[in-house]
Amino acid sequence: GAGVSQTPSNKVTEKGKYVELRCDPISGHTALYWYRQSLGQGPEFLIYFQGTGAADDSGLPNDRFFAVRPEGSVSTLKIQRTERGDSAVYLCASSGTGGFADTQYFGPGTRLTVL
Amino acid sequence: TQLLEQSPQFLSIQEGENLTVYCNSSSVFSSLQWYRQEPGEGPVLLVTVVTGGEVKKLKRLTFQFGDARKDSSLHITAAQPGDTGLYLCAGGRQGGSEKLVFGKGTKLTVNP
């Protein structure tokens, strides 16, 4: 079956521009997570959705970052007024229920480069 | 702030050698997971441990969760070039969003 997919795989933008990153989770998974992985670091939590609602957005670094999941499946991470420090690989993961120790399946990520 | 410290950060060994990587924290976690990540791909789950003192084996890989649930280790026996990759530990806390807190990873290279 299909795993988690993310588009685009690479995105190059200029400082100050707006970008959208898309995540297609595994069909039927109610929990969806966004993480950010900078060079030489492990993934860092950004936001967690349970269904359509953001259940935990404590990892979003500031109000330039926003994410939606309007129909409880596909999610979009939106970054306004991009800065060079936003350059990283943005990973999406989904799990069946988001319950205790539920396996999170990761997509391949979107590599964002802000020039 | 990294709550999980992994060591060593880099490890280069010859095929056939044994190795151990460590994951340590001052915090208690409800679950501890180990992932392997290859370049250009997302992390792939290897194992989840949830009970203090728990030991799990996956072929040549042995995972242990510390008694106090603050640390873990991954031991690989007779390493092979196919074991090359970035090994990440991640902690989860029950009752929350199950967001994972990751260490920085151990980059393992197994030379033929």
Percent of chain A as helix, strand, coil, to the nearest 5: 5, 50, 50
- Look at residue A1 and tell me whether its pLDDT is greater than 90: no
B28-55: average pLDDT: 94
Q: With DSSP H G I counted as helix, E B as strand and the rest as coil, what are the percentages for chain B, rounded to 5?
A: 5, 50, 45
The shortest CB-CB distance from B97 to any of A4, A56, A108 is to: A56
Give pLDDT tens digits for A23-34: 999 999 999 999
Q: Percent of chain B beyond pLDDT 70?
A: 96
Strands B61-65 and B71-76 come out as antiparallel
| pLDDT at B95 exceeding the cut of 70 | no
Nearest to B4 by CA among B36, B28, B39: B28
- Chain B residue nearest residue A93, CA to CA: B42
Give me the pLDDT at residue B2, please.
53
- Tell me which residue in A41, A100, A108 faces B41 most closely, judged by beta carbons: A108
CB A106 within 8 A of CB B88: no
- pLDDT greater at residue B95 or residue B34: B34
Considering only CB atoms, which chain B residues are within 8 Å of A104? Answer: 45, 100
> pLDDT tens-digit profile of B50-67?
999 999 999 999 999 999
**Are B100 and A55 inside 8 Å of each other by CB?**
no
